[in-house]
Amino acid sequence: MISDNGKGFDVHQIFSRKNPSSGMGLINIQERIINYDGKFKIESAPNKGTVLVVEIPNKKSLWKTKNI
């Protein structure tokens, strides 16, 4: 969990894709975490700060490397 007391933002606006240049970093992080069967949660509101919760399972099959 990561939290701050900064200016916060409207979570629904970031993930709406109406403005494709807004919040792409968070969308990319969310997609990667979901690909690893993880969970990604954001709680934020303007002038209220932000809380990020990330859970990634520790499965050996997810961490295998490929020989090149």
Tokens 């990634």 correspond to 56
User: pLDDT tens digits for 15-67?
Assistant: 776 666 656 788 889 999 998 899 999 999 999 999 999 999 887 666 666 66
What is the chain's Cα-based Rg?
Answer: 15
Provide the whole-model pTM.
0.67
Q: Where are the beta strands (DSSP E) in 1-68?
A: 2-4, 39-44, 50-55
Give me the pLDDT at residue 43, please.
95
Neighbours of 50 (CB within 10 A): 17
CATH architecture of 2-63: 2-Layer Sandwich (3.30)
